Amino acid sequence: MASPPTIPVTNQQAAQSQPPINTPAFRTFFSRLSTSIRDGLSQRRPWTELVDRSSMARPESLTDALSRIRKNLAYFKVNYAAIVSLVLAFSLFSHPLSLLVLVGLLAGWMFLYVFRPADQPLVVFGRTFSDRETLLGLALCTIVVVFMTSVGSLLTSALMIGVAIVCLHGAFVVPDDLFMDDQEPANAGLLSFLGGSATSGRV
């Protein structure tokens, strides 16, 4: 009795069996992201220092204000980043439609380009798109979303408000000697972390 014929597996069937995203790269990305957040938060200063009124005084001149801002940015960098992030989050959550558009754009970049397996082309309505065409399409979508919708103006205004809060606080906080002595090890830790992130980048 003859054996049944073997059904060949086509490239399309093999491609369909592959996952839609590069799972190891996806997991590595979020693992490094969580590690970055934990390491960054470990360098934050106590929030009581940020609101200590005894260390605040009006700057004597514009030069004095700029000098204070520069020093305070180096000392409170994590706290200031958290403040700007909170302003951005509040602005986005107060405009749900803009938040959905931004989340959709980020999801498109992640799943259609960043984490898509290199050997799996993007197929839409039976048409195969190359990496260059996918990148160009996502870039055009980003330009449209940022410059032709309310998302761009919302992000710009939120960033300006956050930066204004940071600069105003930095100009009125007087950095003392102890304040500056503690700055060097914190900066060293941040630089070593950035160096480790760079060397452990995606292969």
Q: By CB neighbour count within 10 A (0-12 exposed, 13-18 middle, 19+ buried), where does 98 fall?
A: buried
Phi, psi of 123 (to 5 degrees): -120, 120
Phi, psi of 126 (to 5 degrees): 80, 0
Q: Each residue's pLDDT tens digit in the chain (203 positions)? A: 555 555 444 444 444 444 455 566 656 665 676 776 676 666 678 888 888 888 888 888 899 999 999 999 888 888 999 999 999 999 989 888 888 988 888 888 887 777 776 667 777 777 777 778 888 888 998 898 888 888 888 999 999 999 999 999 999 988 874 355 454 444 444 444 444 444 444 44
**Residue 47: CB partners within 8 Å, gap ≥ 6?**
79
Work out whether the CA dihedral 30, 42, 47, 184 comes out positive or negative.
negative
Residues 105, 152 contacting (CB under 8 angstroms):
no
pLDDT one-digit tens code per residue, 144-176: 888 888 888 899 999 999 999 999 999 998 887
Per-residue pLDDT, 47: 82
Total-model pTM: 0.61
